Structure 1
Amino acid sequence: MTGQTAVRRDPAPANQLVLAFVLTAVVLLLGVFAWPGARESLFHVFNVLGGIESTQAFWAGVNALADTWLTLGLLLPFVLWRPRLAILLLFAAIIATAITHSIKPLLDVLRPPGVLEADAFNLIGHSISSKAFPSGHTVTAFTFAGLLILGLRPRWPWVALLLAVASIMGISRMVAGVHWPTDVLAGAIVGLVSVAVAVWLVDRWPAARHARWPVPVAVFVCAVCALGAPWVDVGYPQGLWANWLVALIGVAALFVGTLRYWPGRLSRSLDRRLGRLGSRGR
């Protein structure tokens, strides 16, 4: 022992909050489906925020941050900080993508622009009229939150904050006028469940848990997404600030990551070489 004791944080509080959130989302989803007119009424409650001109750039940026490309860029500092997230990211991304892109074309639910008259709601950014259910951006947002919650196991205030941030990202899809509340609720469920399944698989698959290749792959993909963010069109020109924010976070993460890992590796390599030279001289 080196004198330092590793402390494993109890995952129960995080798991309980995530489970409570998922169950609440399921109940709300069923309630909205069952109550006539609830889907449209709730949509307009949130969409009215999109009519406030002074806040449109903010909501456009929040929508942009929920795009898969930008979200992967946001994950870069966390993957560098906790490499265990790499394999969870791989599994969760595969599961969430498979579920989302299986349901979307199967149900092919029309979005608000495909149902409502153009002057009956507020639209921010590009217009999409089909494949509404579930909301892919919301799936991405809650997959991101789930990875940090179930992968890092923070204390409950951070869990609540991450769920709140992901919820705002989901709500932004209604504010932008491209999703119904049912799409958002379903997206939240799919995202969190995908991460929970990924954690379950990794915990029961030692070979995947100890594999080394997911870390460089995840770092490379997240770094490309972060550094390329300013030149990626995610459909929200008013929210271009979000693209540059992701790029700045990526540059800072790579800088700090280099300071953290590179000198240590050089030092260990030098120590090994000096040790070999010393053993030869004896």
Structure 2
Amino acid sequence: MRLDYDIPAVGRLGDPRVWAVPLLAAAALLIVAMGDNNLALFRFLNGWGAVTGDSVWAALTVLGDTVVALTLLAPFIGRRPDIIRAAVVAAVLATLYVHGLKDLLALPRPPALLDAATLHIIGPAFKAGSFPSGHTTTIFTLAGVVALHFPGRWHTRSLAVLALLVGLSRSVVGVHWPVDVLAGAGGGWLAAVAGTWIARRWAWGLSGRAQALFAVLLLGCAATLLVGQKTGYGVENWQRLIAVVCLLPPLLRLFARRGAATPGHFQ
């Protein structure tokens, strides 16, 4: 069943902006891989942490954590069920993409191949399941879904830049090669496009019961951050701040509705 609301221009498959991110990611991946620049580029990016400090990259990289990314959807609870539904569908596709390739290829990460003395590691030094970057796929999936639902160059470019910084952080913290990041960027954005396309042609997920289940999921993720989820990057207070900021909009809407429904409330 197809829904009866308009699809924004940026959400149409013929709009070049829809395909810009995955096409650029694919082109960059080919250039890096075929030019044998993967190691040199990793070394360059990994050196950023020593120059800028670890905290900024730790804060950026956790935005690609699944629990954090789902929490970032909480402001849409009760306001944009279409975005939440599309994000859920896209997340399923992104998960299949990431774990399918990780399990199939089983490629080693930088800490498994390079001398520890030559690496700048921020957080856990993961060694297995390199390609593609799950954090990068997650953030590009989220950014893609939101960008497709808020058409406009400013929104799309800003979200793409933020997602790119999160992706680059995976090399800065020392656990992913640049080709992993590029594969995650392209795959995540394609998952967002496919998830949005499927969601707009499938009425599932817009019912009150489905949205209540989605809300419980997102609120549960926010609660997990509030109690101090250990991501290994030592930024629990940053994660709590994200949870608080993302919980405020749905809570304020809930209180406003209750106030409007209270007898004697004057409009």
TM-score by length of 1: 0.84
One-letter amino acid of the counterpart of residue 35, structure 2:
W
Superposed CA deviations along residues 64-99 of structure 1, whole A, max 9, x for unmatched, are: 121101111111002443111122122111111111
Q: 2:85 aligns with which of 82, 87, 95?
A: 87
- Work out the CA distance in 1 between the residues paired with 2:38 and 2:159: 25
Distance 1:154 1:241, change over 3 A: farther
Q: 2:58 aligns with which of 49, 57, 60?
A: 60
- Work out the CA distance in 1 between the residues paired with 2:193 and 2:258: 33
Unaligned 5+ runs, structure 2:
none
Q: CA deviation at 1:135?
A: 0.3
One-letter amino acid of the counterpart of residue 42, structure 1:
L
- Work out the CA distance in 1 between the residues paired with 2:183 and 2:174: 17
Q: 1:214 aligns with which of 195, 210, 218?
A: 210
Q: CA deviation at 1:209?
A: 6.1
Whether 1:44 aligns to 2:5 is no
Superposed CA deviations along residues 77-131 of structure 1, whole A, max 9, x for unmatched, are: 0244311112212211111111111110110111110111001121000110010
Q: CA deviation at 1:246?
A: 1.5
C-alpha RMSD over aligned residues? 2.3
Whether 1:113 aligns to 2:111 is yes
Aligned to 2:241: 245
Q: 1:162 aligns with which of 130, 151, 159?
A: 159
One-letter amino acid of the counterpart of residue 146, structure 2:
L
Aligned to 2:19: 19
One-letter amino acid of the counterpart of residue 34, structure 2:
A
One-letter amino acid of the counterpart of residue 66, structure 1:
G
Structure number with bigger Rg: 1
Aligned pairs (5 A) from 1:93-242: 93-150=91-148, 152-205=149-202, 207-208=203-204, 210-230=206-226, 231-237=228-234, 239-242=235-238
Aligned 8 A contact 1:61 1:240 in 2: no
Secondary structure, in 3 states, of the residue corresponding to 1:228? helix
Q: CA deviation at 1:9?
A: 4.4
Aligned to 1:274: none
One-letter amino acid of the counterpart of residue 21, structure 1:
V
Distance 1:138 1:236, change over 3 A: same
Superposed CA deviations along residues 209-266 of structure 1, whole A, max 9, x for unmatched, are: 64333321221111111122042111111x22321222221331232221344445x3
Q: 1:254 aligns with which of 250, 262, 267?
A: 250
Aligned 8 A contact 1:65 1:242 in 2: no
- Work out the CA distance in 2 between the residues paired with 1:147 and 1:8: 13
Distance 1:260 1:39, change over 3 A: farther
Aligned 8 A contact 1:126 1:236 in 2: yes
Aligned 8 A contact 1:136 1:187 in 2: yes
- Work out the CA distance in 1 between the residues paired with 2:257 and 2:221: 21
One-letter amino acid of the counterpart of residue 95, structure 2:
T
Q: CA deviation at 1:13?
A: 8.6
Secondary structure, in 3 states, of the residue corresponding to 1:220? helix
Aligned 8 A contact 2:21 2:189 in 1: no
- Work out the CA distance in 2 between the residues paired with 1:87 and 1:8: 15
One-letter amino acid of the counterpart of residue 245, structure 1:
L
Q: CA deviation at 1:17?
A: 2.2
- Work out the CA distance in 1 between the residues paired with 2:204 and 2:6: 23
The percentage of counterpart residues that share the same residue type is 31
Unaligned 5+ runs, structure 1:
1-5, 271-282
- Work out the CA distance in 2 between the residues paired with 1:260 and 1:220: 20
